[in-house]
Structure 1
Amino acid sequence: MANELQLNLGTLRSTMQLTLHTHHASRIWHGRTSSEERAAIIGLNGFVSIMNKMKRGAEQDDPYSDVWMLRIEDKLNDTKESLRALREQVDRVLLQIPPALSLGENLNVQPVNLPLFINAQLGFMAVYLLADYDDLARRLILAHHTALIDRSTLERWLKEGAHALRSLFSLAQQYKYSGVQRGDYSANTAAALKARERFGDVPQDVLEGTRRSRFAPPMMRRSTIQDPQADEDAAVDAAIDSDSPEEGDEASPGSIPPEEEER
Structure 2
Amino acid sequence: MSESIQLNLGALRSAMKLTLHTHHAARIWHGRQFSEGKNGIVGLSGFVSVMNKMKRGAEQDDPYSDWWMIRIEQKLTACKAHLTEIQENLDQFMADIPHALNIGDNLNIQPVTLPLFINAQLGFKAVYLLTQFDDLARRLLLAHHTALIGRRDMERWLDDGAHELRSLFAFAQQYKYSGATRDDFAANNARAREALESFGELPQDVLEGSRRSEFAPPIMRPRGTSDAHASSAAEDVDDTER
What is the TM-score of this pair, normalised by structure 2? Answer: 0.93
Aligned counterpart, 1:259: none
Which residue identity lines up with residue 105 of structure 1 in the other structure? D
Aligned counterpart, 2:190: 190
Separation (CA, whole Å) in 1 of partners of 2:235 and 2:145: 47
SS at match of 1:131: helix
SS at match of 1:42: coil
How far off its partner does 1:202 sit? 1.3
1:140 aligns with 2:140: yes
Deviates more, 1:214-223 or 1:16-25: 214-223
Aligned counterpart, 2:70: 70
Asked whether the 8 Å contact 2:32–2:42 carries over to 1, the reply is: yes
Q: Which of residues 236, 249, 259 is equivalent to 2:241?
A: 249
Aligned counterpart, 2:15: 15
What whole-Å deviation, never above 9, does each CA across 1:117-139 have from its counterpart, x for those lacking one?
Answer: 10000000000000000000000
Residues 243/142 of structure 1: CA separation in 2 closer, same or farther (3 Å cut): farther
Separation (CA, whole Å) in 2 of partners of 1:172 and 1:9: 35
Unaligned 5+ segments in structure 2 are none
What whole-Å deviation, never above 9, does each CA across 1:162-198 have from its counterpart, x for those lacking one?
Answer: 0000000010000000011000000000000000000
Separation (CA, whole Å) in 2 of partners of 1:174 and 1:243: 18
Aligned-residue Cα RMSD (Å) equals 2.2
How far off its partner does 1:39 sit? 3.5
How far off its partner does 1:224 sit? 3.2
Separation (CA, whole Å) in 2 of partners of 1:222 and 1:55: 16
1:173-252 paired onto structure 2 within 5 Å: 173-224=173-224, 231=227, 245-249=237-241
Aligned counterpart, 2:119: 119
Separation (CA, whole Å) in 2 of partners of 1:160 and 1:37: 24
Separation (CA, whole Å) in 1 of partners of 2:42 and 2:113: 20
SS at match of 2:113: strand
Asked whether the 8 Å contact 1:79–1:165 carries over to 2, the reply is: yes
Separation (CA, whole Å) in 2 of partners of 1:184 and 1:4: 40
Aligned counterpart, 1:254: none
Unaligned 5+ segments in structure 1 are 251-263
How far off its partner does 1:34 sit? 4.3
Separation (CA, whole Å) in 2 of partners of 1:15 and 1:87: 30
How far off its partner does 1:21 sit? 0.2
More helix by share: 2
